[in-house]
Protein backbone atom coordinates (compact mmCIF):
# COMPACT_ATOMS: atom_id res chain seq x y z
CA UNK A 1 0.00 0.00 0.00
CA UNK A 2 1.50 3.32 -0.98
CA UNK A 3 2.26 6.04 1.49
CA UNK A 4 -0.79 8.36 1.85
CA UNK A 5 1.21 11.25 0.36
CA UNK A 6 1.71 9.20 -2.84
CA UNK A 7 -1.86 7.92 -3.01
CA UNK A 8 -3.94 9.23 -5.90
CA UNK A 9 -6.38 12.07 -5.23
CA UNK A 10 -9.23 10.31 -7.04
CA UNK A 11 -10.21 6.83 -8.19
CA UNK A 12 -9.16 5.70 -11.65
CA UNK A 13 -11.59 6.00 -14.54
CA UNK A 14 -11.99 2.22 -14.56
CA UNK A 15 -12.82 2.18 -10.83
CA UNK A 16 -15.38 4.97 -11.32
CA UNK A 17 -16.96 3.20 -14.29
CA UNK A 18 -17.21 -0.07 -12.37
CA UNK A 19 -18.59 1.69 -9.26
CA UNK A 20 -21.39 3.50 -11.09
CA UNK A 21 -22.20 0.65 -13.47
CA UNK A 22 -22.46 -1.85 -10.61
CA UNK A 23 -24.53 0.63 -8.57
CA UNK A 24 -26.96 1.17 -11.46
CA UNK A 25 -27.27 -2.59 -12.07
CA UNK A 26 -27.91 -3.25 -8.38
CA UNK A 27 -30.65 -0.60 -8.28
CA UNK A 28 -32.22 -2.07 -11.43
CA UNK A 29 -31.92 -5.64 -10.12
CA UNK A 30 -33.41 -4.70 -6.75
CA UNK A 31 -36.33 -2.88 -8.42
CA UNK A 32 -36.98 -5.83 -10.72
CA UNK A 33 -36.83 -8.22 -7.79
CA UNK A 34 -39.35 -6.17 -5.91
CA UNK A 35 -41.74 -5.85 -8.86
CA UNK A 36 -41.47 -9.42 -10.17
CA UNK A 37 -42.24 -11.03 -6.81
CA UNK A 38 -45.46 -9.01 -6.56
CA UNK A 39 -46.80 -10.24 -9.92
CA UNK A 40 -49.34 -12.96 -9.15
CA UNK A 41 -49.09 -16.33 -10.88
CA UNK A 42 -46.79 -17.22 -13.74
CA UNK A 43 -47.02 -14.69 -16.57
CA UNK A 44 -44.76 -13.95 -19.54
CA UNK A 45 -43.89 -10.59 -17.95
CA UNK A 46 -42.98 -12.20 -14.63
CA UNK A 47 -40.80 -14.81 -16.37
CA UNK A 48 -39.08 -12.08 -18.42
CA UNK A 49 -38.41 -10.04 -15.26
CA UNK A 50 -36.99 -13.11 -13.50
CA UNK A 51 -34.66 -13.69 -16.47
CA UNK A 52 -33.52 -10.06 -16.49
CA UNK A 53 -33.03 -10.16 -12.72
CA UNK A 54 -30.79 -13.24 -13.05
CA UNK A 55 -28.83 -11.72 -15.92
CA UNK A 56 -28.23 -8.59 -13.86
CA UNK A 57 -27.07 -10.73 -10.93
CA UNK A 58 -24.58 -12.68 -13.06
CA UNK A 59 -23.32 -9.43 -14.60
CA UNK A 60 -22.94 -7.78 -11.19
CA UNK A 61 -21.00 -10.78 -9.89
CA UNK A 62 -18.62 -10.70 -12.87
CA UNK A 63 -18.13 -6.93 -12.60
CA UNK A 64 -17.57 -7.09 -8.84
CA UNK A 65 -14.88 -9.73 -9.34
CA UNK A 66 -13.23 -7.45 -11.93
CA UNK A 67 -13.57 -4.55 -9.50
CA UNK A 68 -11.93 -6.53 -6.69
CA UNK A 69 -9.01 -7.41 -8.98
CA UNK A 70 -8.74 -3.79 -10.13
CA UNK A 71 -8.80 -2.54 -6.55
CA UNK A 72 -6.13 -5.05 -5.52
CA UNK A 73 -3.80 -3.65 -8.17
CA UNK A 74 -4.66 0.06 -8.03
CA UNK A 75 -4.40 2.22 -4.91
CA UNK A 76 -7.48 4.00 -3.66
CA UNK A 77 -7.30 7.68 -2.80
CA UNK A 78 -6.34 8.34 0.79
CA UNK A 79 -9.16 9.26 3.12
CA UNK A 80 -9.10 12.89 4.25
CA UNK A 81 -6.66 13.49 7.10
CA UNK A 82 -9.43 15.30 8.98
CA UNK A 83 -11.49 12.09 9.31
CA UNK A 84 -11.65 10.62 12.80
CA UNK A 85 -10.18 7.15 13.36
CA UNK A 86 -13.63 5.65 13.95
CA UNK A 87 -14.83 7.16 10.65
CA UNK A 88 -11.91 5.57 8.79
CA UNK A 89 -12.66 2.24 10.44
CA UNK A 90 -16.35 2.55 9.56
CA UNK A 91 -15.52 3.46 5.94
CA UNK A 92 -13.21 0.45 5.52
CA UNK A 93 -15.63 -1.92 7.28
CA UNK A 94 -18.54 -0.59 5.23
CA UNK A 95 -16.69 -1.13 1.97
CA UNK A 96 -15.75 -4.65 3.08
CA UNK A 97 -19.38 -5.46 3.86
CA UNK A 98 -20.47 -4.02 0.50
CA UNK A 99 -18.03 -6.27 -1.37
CA UNK A 100 -19.10 -9.36 0.59
CA UNK A 101 -22.76 -8.62 -0.11
CA UNK A 102 -22.15 -7.88 -3.79
CA UNK A 103 -20.66 -11.37 -4.13
CA UNK A 104 -22.99 -13.23 -1.74
CA UNK A 105 -26.25 -11.92 -3.21
CA UNK A 106 -25.72 -13.14 -6.78
CA UNK A 107 -24.28 -16.43 -5.50
CA UNK A 108 -27.29 -17.10 -3.25
CA UNK A 109 -29.64 -16.13 -6.09
CA UNK A 110 -27.85 -18.51 -8.45
CA UNK A 111 -27.97 -21.32 -5.90
CA UNK A 112 -31.64 -20.54 -5.21
CA UNK A 113 -32.40 -21.01 -8.94
CA UNK A 114 -30.48 -24.29 -8.94
CA UNK A 115 -32.31 -25.55 -5.84
CA UNK A 116 -35.60 -24.58 -7.52
CA UNK A 117 -34.61 -26.74 -10.50
CA UNK A 118 -34.34 -23.74 -12.84
CA UNK A 119 -31.17 -23.39 -14.88
CA UNK A 120 -29.80 -19.87 -15.35
CA UNK A 121 -29.34 -19.13 -19.06
CA UNK A 122 -27.30 -15.95 -19.24
CA UNK A 123 -28.80 -13.46 -21.70
CA UNK A 124 -31.01 -16.29 -22.93
CA UNK A 125 -27.98 -17.71 -24.78
CA UNK A 126 -25.45 -19.33 -22.43
CA UNK A 127 -26.69 -22.01 -20.04
CA UNK A 128 -24.71 -21.77 -16.81
CA UNK A 129 -23.91 -24.93 -14.87
CA UNK A 130 -26.38 -26.12 -12.27
CA UNK A 131 -24.36 -26.31 -9.06
CA UNK A 132 -26.90 -28.13 -6.88
CA UNK A 133 -29.85 -30.31 -7.67
CA UNK A 134 -33.46 -29.46 -6.98
CA UNK A 135 -34.10 -29.33 -3.24
CA UNK A 136 -37.33 -27.81 -1.94
CA UNK A 137 -36.11 -27.25 1.62
CA UNK A 138 -32.84 -25.68 0.46
CA UNK A 139 -34.75 -23.58 -2.09
CA UNK A 140 -36.75 -21.91 0.69
CA UNK A 141 -33.65 -21.34 2.83
CA UNK A 142 -31.71 -19.83 -0.10
CA UNK A 143 -34.64 -17.62 -1.07
CA UNK A 144 -34.84 -16.24 2.47
CA UNK A 145 -31.08 -15.73 2.63
CA UNK A 146 -31.10 -14.00 -0.78
CA UNK A 147 -33.92 -11.65 0.24
CA UNK A 148 -32.35 -10.90 3.64
CA UNK A 149 -28.98 -10.14 2.07
CA UNK A 150 -30.66 -7.80 -0.43
CA UNK A 151 -32.33 -5.80 2.32
CA UNK A 152 -29.05 -5.77 4.24
CA UNK A 153 -27.37 -4.37 1.12
CA UNK A 154 -30.08 -1.72 0.88
CA UNK A 155 -29.33 -0.63 4.47
CA UNK A 156 -25.54 -0.64 3.98
CA UNK A 157 -25.83 1.33 0.72
CA UNK A 158 -28.03 3.87 2.50
CA UNK A 159 -25.35 4.25 5.19
CA UNK A 160 -22.66 4.51 2.47
CA UNK A 161 -24.56 7.31 0.70
CA UNK A 162 -25.36 9.12 3.96
CA UNK A 163 -21.70 8.88 5.02
CA UNK A 164 -20.51 10.28 1.70
CA UNK A 165 -23.03 13.12 1.90
CA UNK A 166 -22.08 13.87 5.52
CA UNK A 167 -18.40 14.13 4.60
CA UNK A 168 -19.22 16.21 1.53
CA UNK A 169 -21.85 18.59 2.89
CA UNK A 170 -21.26 18.83 6.64
CA UNK A 171 -17.53 18.19 6.95
CA UNK A 172 -16.71 19.92 3.62
CA UNK A 173 -14.16 17.22 2.76
CA UNK A 174 -15.09 17.12 -0.96
CA UNK A 175 -15.04 13.34 -0.76
CA UNK A 176 -17.50 12.82 -3.64
CA UNK A 177 -15.04 14.25 -6.18
CA UNK A 178 -12.89 11.15 -5.64
CA UNK A 179 -15.56 8.95 -7.27
CA UNK A 180 -17.14 11.38 -9.74
CA UNK A 181 -15.79 11.69 -13.27
CA UNK A 182 -16.14 15.47 -13.04
CA UNK A 183 -14.94 17.93 -10.42
CA UNK A 184 -11.56 18.19 -8.79
CA UNK A 185 -10.73 16.86 -5.34
CA UNK A 186 -9.24 19.48 -3.08
CA UNK A 187 -7.24 19.01 0.09
pLDDT in tens, 31-80: 999 999 999 999 999 999 999 999 999 999 999 999 999 999 999 888 88
pTM above 0.95, yes or no: no
Q: List, for the chain, all residue ranges whose pLDDT scores fall below the cut of 70.
A: 1-7, 183-187
Domain covering 10-178 assigned CATH 1.20.950 in the classification? yes
Residue from 174, 172, 53 nearest 113 by CA: 53
- CA distances (Å), 49 to each of 26, 53, 78, 110, 127, in order? 14, 6, 40, 15, 17
Contact of 35 with 77, CB cutoff 8 Å = no
Domain positions in the chain: 10-178
Quick check: helix, strand or coil at residue 79?
A: coil
Within a 10 A sphere around the Cβ of 97, how many other Cβ atoms? 16
For Cα atoms 25, 125, 139, give the angle at the middle one, nearest 5 degrees.
65
Amino acid sequence: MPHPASAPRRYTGVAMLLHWLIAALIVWGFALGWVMTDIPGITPTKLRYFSWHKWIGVTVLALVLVRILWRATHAAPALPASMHAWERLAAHAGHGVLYVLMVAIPVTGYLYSSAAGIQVVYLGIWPLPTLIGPDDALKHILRNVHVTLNYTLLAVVALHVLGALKHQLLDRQNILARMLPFGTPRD
